[in-house]
């Protein structure tokens, strides 16, 4: 039996597919029709990968670096949704304005910084760049342990990010723009 997974590779089928709205996704989730470990990306439900120990370690390490340096008007959300125009991703780390109480009834609609740790999801995480750029996220990082690199995307616009760079050298440092966070070397990220 064919799973139909490749059907979306066919342009005519992809163009005829009906995307879900964020509201429809929420209703289906509330009714238990959509599994919990999913994200909505540009109207398409995507199953999330199981988190490996390395993934969890890197998310915790990065959050422990970012969180203490943030001014009180910002905080870190880990693996929690952002509700965007046609998507509801759950980034590994999102630095958002305000405090947790501000999001008691709705998830944030943007973030100052989004970080995804890509163990087996590099393609999906790169595709998310368009989603985050459309939401006005000024800086998006894709942390890739396999190559010990971090892809940094900045200057969001309607067609994606205008600036892309890859940080790979052990002595190179990471430092988000617009947030007073001390630099962290690639060596410190991957240990």
Pair of tokens at residue 111: 């973030």
Report the percent of the chain where pLDDT is more than 90.
77
Nearest to 131 by CA among 145, 147, 142, 120: 142
pLDDT in tens, 113-128: 999 999 999 999 999 9
Q: What is the pTM of this model?
A: 0.91
pLDDT band at 5 (very low <50, low <70, confident <90, very high): low
Per-domain residue ranges for the chain? Answer: 50-190
Q: Which two tokens stand for residue 60?
A: 């915790």
Q: Which contiguous run of DSSP H or E holds residue 161? A: strand 160-167
More confident residue, 159 or 137: 137
Give the homologous superfamily in CATH for domain 50-190: tt1808, chain A (3.90.1570.10)
Helix (H) or strand (E) holding 135: none
The answer to whether the CB of 187 falls within 8 A of the CB of 170 is yes
């Amino acid at each position: 039996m064919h799973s139909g997974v490749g059907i979306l590779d066919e342009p005519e089928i992809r163009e005829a597919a009906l995307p879900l709205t964020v509201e429809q996704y929420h209703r289906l989730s509330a009714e238990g029709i959509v599994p919990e470990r999913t994200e909505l990306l540009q109207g398409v439900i995507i199953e999330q990968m199981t988190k490996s120990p390395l993934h969890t370690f890197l998310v915790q390490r990065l959050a422990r670096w970012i969180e203490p340096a943030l001014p009180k008007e910002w905080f870190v959300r880990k693996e929690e949704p952002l509700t965007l125009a046609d998507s509801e991703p759950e980034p590994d780390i999102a630095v958002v304005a305000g405090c947790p109480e501000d999001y008691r009834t709705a998830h944030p609609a943007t973030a100052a910084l989004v970080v995804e740790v890509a163990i087996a999801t590099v393609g999906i995480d790169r595709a998310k760049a368009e989603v985050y750029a459309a939401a006005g996220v000024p800086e998006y990082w894709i942390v890739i342990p396999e190559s010990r690199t971090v892809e940094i995307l900045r200057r969001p616009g309607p067609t994606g990010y205008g600036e892309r760079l890859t940080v790979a050298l052990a002595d190179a440092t990471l430092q988000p723009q617009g947030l007073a966070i001390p630099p962290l070397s690639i060596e410190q990220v991957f240990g």
